[in-house]
Structure 1
Amino acid sequence: MSQTSGATVQPVKQPKLPFWQVWNVSLGFLGVQFGFALQNANASRILSDLGADLHSLSLFWIVAPLMGLIVQPIVGSASDRTWNRFGRRNPYILFGAIAAALGMAFMPNAGIVVAFIAPILFGGVMLALMDAAFNVTMQPFRALVSDMVPSEQRTLGYSIQSLLINIGAVFGSMLPFILTNVIGLENTAQAGEVAPSVIWAFYIGASVLLGSVLWTVFRTREYAPKEYNAYKGIDADQLARERAERKSLPQRLGGFFQLLFTMPKTMRQLALVQFFSWFALFIMWVYTTPAITQHVWGVEAKWFDPHYLESVGQVPAHIAAAKGAAGDWVGIIFAAYSLFAALFSIVLARIANTFGRKPTYALSLLLGGLGYISFLLFQGGEATQVNLLITEVTVPSGALGLLLPMVGVGIAWAAILAMPYAILSDSLPASKTGVYMGIFNFTIAAPQIISALVAGAILKGIFDNQAIYIIVLAGVFMILGAVSVSFVREERAEQGGAVEEAVTA
């Protein structure tokens, strides 16, 4: 039996999808993650080139978690209520993809609007647009897979989704490097400009994003309301009556805060682990580029200071070359951790079933923390020829060594995406799983917002803009997350969530 909106009806068996139609439903994920990966690996590089100083970078990045916090619940609720000739989820997916593609095309070209608006301000606005659009696309995309893929094919559907997400992440992260070292585009930029390799990477990323989403939208025919309700066991009349009821804002807020106060203990305990791990991840995304530019390529922190750059006028060729090479290499190591995460995801469930979810989760976070701290070990070094199969490149030996910490970071990333939800799911009452999972998203957004507000001040006030040390701080926070796992008590909710019992980890 399926339960929705307080009414239970016998669902009609949902037809299985042909294998390639399951691919079609998820193909847009490849493009969305391609865009996310480009943003994660290059946004700090672009903003620095446009004039952002190191301690303000995190403040620009604050828009990412804020957009997720604001946009996803609104769009998720709106798409639940939308039925028109274009579908239920598809209109939001398509609109979000178009907006994200426009943001990706305009952001690296901020220099062209200098006569009307400061490039750094324009870049920040485009970053906000991209993040909002990514979230508009992602929320209904997740729901589309759940809508269209029947339960017996759900494992296949999410496996394909995971594969496409990681493929998009690997190639999106690597693209600027490929454009420089295989195609031959210039990867250096003067102050107030963005390197051509990055500009073209964002053009290509926008095209991949829009193309893959269009493929999904035009090759996926969503079910009409009558079909959907029958397949999901929804009482359409009861649903219509409930939606017709209008609750006041104080009533809605009161219900929300009641859920917050009555959330399962496991959820509160996991929130602490989430705080430490997502605080660390945010630091990595914001500060890896300046950290390895300074620590591995030997570029002094003053070359990230817009006031100093303005005083010297022209960035020396060797400084521009070092910053360009370091920025490209960030794409390589980010692709590496995505690849290691994909590989570890294959065996993660088996390891957790053998050794327990909590020990697996804690050990994964510990390896990630040690990975961040070990960045300190890889400084400069002799020029080393590296064969990456697609091309050969010469980098400092320390840069090559950074692939080793990415093994730990990739393992931690895979665990962060899976283990909290596996642990949490047993403790949630079946009738409130969806709303509690939505609340749990706050434990992802909130630590990133806090990190954005304080990381820049820590970098400037404590570490004197030496970015490698804030990466080490991220490692400390990830290890604290591993320790915090020990305080999590796994519980199982009985039917309705009234009774909970402890289970072994």
Structure 2
Amino acid sequence: MSEISINSEKPRLNFWQIWNMSFGFLGIQFGFALQNANVSRIFETLGADEGNLAILWLAAPVTGLLVQPLIGYYSDRTWHPKWGRRRPFFAVGAVLASIALIIMPNSSVLWMAAGTLWLMDASINISMEPFRAFVGDMLPPDQRTKGFAMQSFFIGIGAVVASFLPWIFTNLIGLSNTAPHGEIPPSVKWSFYVGAAAFFLAVMWTVFSTKEYPPEEEEDDLFNQPIIIKYPPSTYLSIGIGILILTAAIGYWFYFAQLDKKLFVLCGILGIFGLAYTVSALFMYKDKYRNGFVQIVRDFQNMPKTMIQLAFVQFFSWFALFAMWIYTTSAVTSHIYKATDTVSTLYNDGADYVGILFGIYNGTSALAALLLPILARYTSRRVTHMISLVVGGSGLLSFYFIQDPTLLIISMLGVGIAWASILSVPYAMLSSSIPSEKMGYYMGIFNFFIVIPQIVAASILGFLLTTFFENQSIFALIIGGSSMIFAGFLSLLVDDKDEVHIEQNAA
């Protein structure tokens, strides 16, 4: 690979170079797929009820909210002659995530599993977040869609294998998929062990098979250039105080109306943003504009227009996904299999089938990731994303009407098409609207609109189910499907900076 700065014009990479730099996502998705398909099962096995699943899942999005912008910020400023800029974060995250994957199925009590989820999600985010910026670092603009599509391909393949692991260990190897009360079945345990090995090895393949472009000598001064002050400190202080007042008012209402305590999580998130704006304003008044915390808040406030538009699309897309990840197991086992006893064979057969369904939607996404660019050439990125999300949302809505588990395969084909588009099209549109020297930084901030909807979902879904739907999980999938369809129509409003048609060579 030629010695070229990330700020200079980048050469086009061949297929195998793009393959190697994306291969780590295969392992990362092993971690996410095992988490998404099995953590609710582990929580329920350890005594959690359906109404508390969402609040237990808060670990994942809260961790992402805190970790991703920080990792993006510091990876932009990292360079090691041997390890490069992003690869140190890939490696550290892989080691920690692999450890967490081994611990999770050996949790003996609920609080231990919830704590391990924090560690697992933080570690996965340490590896994953720089991978998005990696595409911007290594590829010229006309190859970035291809790079994100390759990542989506590996995400799909990794998730297929990982989602099928409990079924494979049960039906092909002969391990039991049931266990006494409070114990995790052997098939689930060994699935997590295999996932830990796959995560570590796949990420390390990218670490050792890819070389990053070195920085130019003047890059050290990149973040010391004169700062353009778009808004004065008083603006940030006003926003911060306004958010804090709104937080107090909402909290007062929740308390005196005696609403579900989970809703106070929303107050906590609003309060964090209010405090962030207030503290950053105080730093600005002391002329500390180069403080990393201040820069994160300022860049959040000064997001490009395209990024703001995509934020709304992402919010409703990921709200739907989080509803699906939390409640599919309980929805399928209770609504279709008519089983609620976590030690019964029928419940565990249903839970295993959810793993198969998750594998199907991820497998579909691997193929769709390569086919969606063709549709985009004949329409546009925005129309392609709209169609994909509407198809996926309709798939989630169909769960309510299906009684034969086999027909759920059709539903998950639609979800897989939406998943492929969610993982690639927004990032392709975003990458052309943000400065290349802050690629990791802005990708981290963009992930706010992945984790914030997950926090909102975890805060209100349990409340909605217990208050309006007699704690029936199937209605969480209906809410999620409606949200995804709405996101699809919002995507038509996005201002795509590049040509609206995906590049010919991105297919």
Could you say whether these structures have the same fold, taking a TM-score greater than 0.5 normalized by the shorter chain as the test? yes
1:56-100 Cα shifts (integer Å, max 9, x gaps): 111121121222221122223323333446513333222211111
1:414 aligns with 2:411: no
Please state how far the C-alpha of 1:439 moved relative to its aligned partner.
3.0
Is 1:228 the counterpart of 2:268? The answer is no
Q: How does 1:80-229 map to 2 (within 5 A)?
A: 80-84=76-80, 87-88=83-84, 89-111=86-108, 119-144=109-134, 147=137, 158-220=148-210, 222=211, 228-229=214-215
Shift of 1:129: 0.6
Higher mean C-alpha deviation, range 188-197 or range 417-426: 417-426
Q: Indicate whether 1:324 and 2:348 are aligned.
A: yes
Q: Which amino acid aligns with 2:104?
A: M
Specify whether residues 360 and 146 from structure 1 end up closer, same or farther in structure 2 by C-alpha distance, changes over 3 A only: closer
TM, length-normalised to structure 2: 0.77
Residue 191 of structure 1: CA displacement?
2.6
User: Does 1:462 pair with 2:429?
Assistant: no
C-alpha contact 1:490 1:504 (8 A) present in aligned 2: no
Q: Is the 8 A contact 2:310 2:494 kept in 1?
A: no
The one-letter code matched in structure 2 to 1:238 is D
The question of whether the paired residues in 2 share the 8 Å contact of 1:189 and 1:324 is answered with: no
TM-score normalised by length of structure 1: 0.77
In structure 2, the residue matched to 1:64 is: 60
* Aligned residue number for residue 311 of structure 1: none
Q: Say if 2:69 and 2:445, in contact at 8 Å, map to a contact too.
A: no
Give the superposition deviation at 1:19: 5.9
Aligned equivalents of 2:447 and 2:133: distance in 1? 15
For 1:193 and 1:218, locate their aligned partners in 2 and report how far apart those are by CA, in whole Å: 38
Number of aligned residue pairs = 439
Higher strand proportion (structure 1 or 2): 1
Matches within 5 A, 1:316-465: 320-379=344-403, 398-424=404-430, 435-465=441-471
Q: Which deviates further from its counterpart, 126-135 or 184-193? A: 184-193
CA–CA distance in structure 2, aligned partners of residues 149 and 491 of structure 1: 19
Query: 316, 324, 328: which one pairs with 1:284?
Result: 324
Larger radius of gyration: 1
Q: Which amino acid aligns with 1:361?
A: H
Contact 1:277 1:478 in 2 (8 A): yes
How far did residue 445 of structure 1 move? 1.3
State the AA in 1 paired with 2:98: A
Match of 1:473 in 2: 479
1:82-136 per-position Cα deviation (integer Å, ceiling 9, x unaligned) = 344651333322221111111111111112xxxxxxx100001111111001011
What percentage of residue pairs aligned between the two structures are identical? 45
1:471 shift after superposition: 1.0
Instruction: Give, in angstroms, the shift of residue 4 of structure 1.
Output: 9.1
Contact 1:50 1:120 in 2 (8 A): yes
Q: What secondary structure, in the 3-state scheme, does the structure 2 residue paired with 1:228 have? A: coil
> Using CA pairs below 8 Å that are at least 6 residues apart, which structure has the higher relative contact order?
2
1:273 is aligned to: 313
Measure, in 2, the Cα distance between the counterparts of 1:51 and 1:77. 39
Contact in 2 for aligned 1:93/1:138 (Cα 8 Å): yes
Deviation at 1:338, TM superposition (A): 1.0
Which residue matches 2:246?
A: none
Given that 1:176 and 1:328 are in contact with CA atoms closer than 8 Å, whether structure 2 keeps it comes out as yes
Q: Deviations over 1:262-300 (max 9, x none)?
A: 444443333332222211110000000000001121114
Please identify, of 331-340 and 136-145, the stretch whose mean Cα deviation from structure 2 is larger.
136-145
**Letter of the aligned partner of 1:280 in structure 2?**
A
Greater CA deviation, 363-372 or 268-277? 268-277
For 2:136 and 2:387, the matched residues in 1 are separated by: 31
Cα distance in 2, alignment partners of residues 265 and 150 from structure 1: 22
1:73 aligns with 2:79: no
Equivalents in 1 of 2:309, 2:13: separation in Å?
39
Kept after mapping to 2: 8 A contact 1:109/1:199: yes
> Which consecutive unaligned segments of at least 5 residues does structure 1 have?
112-118, 305-314, 380-397, 494-501
User: What is the one-letter code of the residue matched to 2:69?
Assistant: P
Task: Confirm or deny: 8 A CA contact 1:57 1:286 kept in the other structure.
Answer: yes
Letter aligned with residue 221 of structure 2 = Q
Per-residue deviation, residues 380-414 of structure 1 (Å, max 9, x unmatched): xxxxxxxxxxxxxxxxxx11110011121112112
Name the counterpart of 2:337: 297
Distance 1:450 1:219 in 2: 39
Q: Which amino acid aligns with 2:48?
A: A
Match of 1:34 in 2: 30
Counterpart for residue 394 of structure 1: none
When residues 402 and 261 of structure 1 are mapped into structure 2, their CA distance, relative to the original with a 3 A threshold, is: same
| 8 A contact 1:188–1:323 mirrored in 2 | no
**Partners of 1:192 and 1:23 in 2: CA distance:** 42
From 40, 47, 60, the counterpart of 1:44:
40
Call closer, same or farther: CA 1:86–1:342 in 2, change over 3 Å.
Answer: same
Structure 2: tracts of 5 or more residues without a match: 227-279, 503-507
Could you tell me how far 1:179 is from its partner in structure 2? Answer: 0.7
Are the structure 2 counterparts of residues 131 and 365 from structure 1 closer, same or farther at C-alpha, using a change threshold of 3 Å? same
Check the 8 A contact 2:76/2:440 in 1, yes or no.
no
The alpha carbon displacement at 1:163 in A equals: 2.7
| Letter in structure 1 aligned against 2:167 | F
- Do 1:365 and 1:412's aligned partners in 2 also have CA atoms closer than 8 Å? yes
